[in-house]
Amino acid sequence: MSGSNVWSRSREKFRLFPELFAQCSPEAATYGKCVSASTTGRQELKKDMCAKEFQALKTCFTNAAKRKAK
């Protein structure tokens, strides 16, 4: 496949991921701690168990993406 297609555009977008992710280390660490805490506790990991922390991470990530796009 040559030229611009959905795969090459997705890959281009993904190249930015590490840079944007690096700007959100505290939120990522909080979310990561929440998930790993649930794995050692008595309860099984369920959907949206760490939804609040994930929203914080996602907001930080999308803001970083907007700043980059400017």
Partner 1 sequence: MSTGVCLRLLQTAGSPSAASCHRWSLISGCRGMSSAGRGSMNVFNREMKRRQKNWAASLQEGNQYDYLRDEIGCRVADRVYDIARTFPLALDIGGGKSHIAEHLNKEFVERLFLTDISEKALKQRRQTEIPTHHVLADEEFLPFKENTFDLVLSSLSLHWINDLPGALRQIHQVLKPDGVFIGAMVGGETLFELRCSLQLGETEREGGFSPHVSPYTAVTDLGNLLGQAGFTMLTVDIDEVQIHYPGIIEVMTDLQGMGESNCAWNRRSMLNRDSILAAAAIYKEMYGSEDGSVPATFEILYMIGWKPHESQAKPAKRGSANVSFADLSKISQPSNTTKS
Could you tell me the smallest distance in angstroms from the CB atom of residue 58 to partner 1? 7
Binding flag, residue 66, partner 1 (CB under 8 A)? no
Residue type, 19: E
58 near partner 1 (CB under 8 A): yes
Two structure tokens written together for 67: 């700043």
Q: Which two tokens stand for residue 58?
A: 């996602």
Give the phi and the psi of residue 15 in degrees, each rounded to 5.
-65, -25
Helix/strand/coil for 48: coil
* List of residues contacting partner 1 (CB under 8 A): 6-7, 10-11, 13-14, 17-18, 21, 25, 27-29, 31-33, 35-36, 39-40, 44-50, 54, 57-58, 61
